[in-house]
């Protein structure tokens, strides 16, 4: 009887498969610099990105999200929706020229691009002076699902950073 229990337990123990679950971490909190190819403006769509060696976190914000007026309540944009958050992994270290040059350079290449499946972008705007506004961008509940169906569970980006617009 003990032999059958041992064989049964062995089959269960060695027969289990974790499905090659790969938990990745998206960590951009330590990156202070927010980059953009154009001046950030309240009157048009803005593409903002942070680069962390061979990774990039990209925000596409619609024109109505950044406003040249102080807010008394936070402005929220749901993802996906009019705003989008993308995470890219490159074959080697990436620079802003990859995003800003036309045509983009041939290297590095994108190994994986993952679009956010859920969450929200929260923006608080304060007036610096009569023509300058500071927008603090926070990410809340951003969820990425890669092509294998695995959720990236450790997203460490709560405060994306602060950008400035001026009245044109």
pLDDT, tens digit, 9 for 90 and up, residues 71-88: 999 999 999 999 999 999
Inside any domain, residue 95: yes
Whole-number Å distance between alpha carbons of 106 and 156: 30
Query: What is the model's pLDDT at position 7?
Result: 58
Determine, yes or no, domain membership for 32: yes
| Cα dihedral 28, 31, 33, 38 in deg (nearest 10) | -30
Quote the number of domains for the chain: 1
* Residue 7, in any domain of the structure: no
State yes or no: pLDDT of 11 exceeds 80: no
For 11, phi and psi rounded to 5 degrees?
A: -65, -45
Mention every residue, 6+ apart, whose C-beta is less than 8 A from residue 118: 79, 80, 141, 142, 143
Q: How far apart are CA 31 and CA 50, in angstroms?
A: 7
Q: Mean pLDDT, to the nearest integer, of 25-40?
A: 88
| Residue 16, in any domain of the structure | no
pLDDT-derived band at 21, boundaries 50, 70, 90? very low
The verdict on pTM exceeding 0.85 is: no
User: How high is the pLDDT of residue 28?
Assistant: 85
Return the pLDDT at 153.
52
């Amino acid at each position: 009887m003990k032999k059958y229990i041992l064989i049964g337990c062995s089959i269960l123990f060695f027969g289990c498969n974790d499905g090659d679950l790969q938990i990745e971490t998206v960590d951009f909190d330590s990156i202070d610099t927010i980059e953009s190819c154009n001046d950030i403006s309240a009157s048009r769509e803005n593409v903002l990105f942070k680069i962390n060696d061979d990774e990039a976190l990209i925000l596409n914000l619609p024109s109505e999200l950044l406003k040249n007026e102080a807010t008394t309540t936070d402005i929220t944009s749901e993802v996906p929706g009019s705003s989008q958050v993308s995470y890219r992994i490159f074959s080697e270290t990436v620079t802003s020229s990859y995003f800003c040059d036309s045509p983009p350079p041939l290297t590095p290449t994108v190994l994986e691009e993952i679009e956010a499946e859920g969450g929200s972008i929260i923006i608080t705007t304060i007036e610096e002076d009569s023509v300058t506004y500071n927008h603090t961008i926070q990410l809340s509940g951003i969820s990425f699902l890669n092509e294998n169906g695995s959720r990236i569970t450790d997203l460490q980006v709560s405060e994306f950073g602060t950008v400035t617009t001026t009245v044109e």
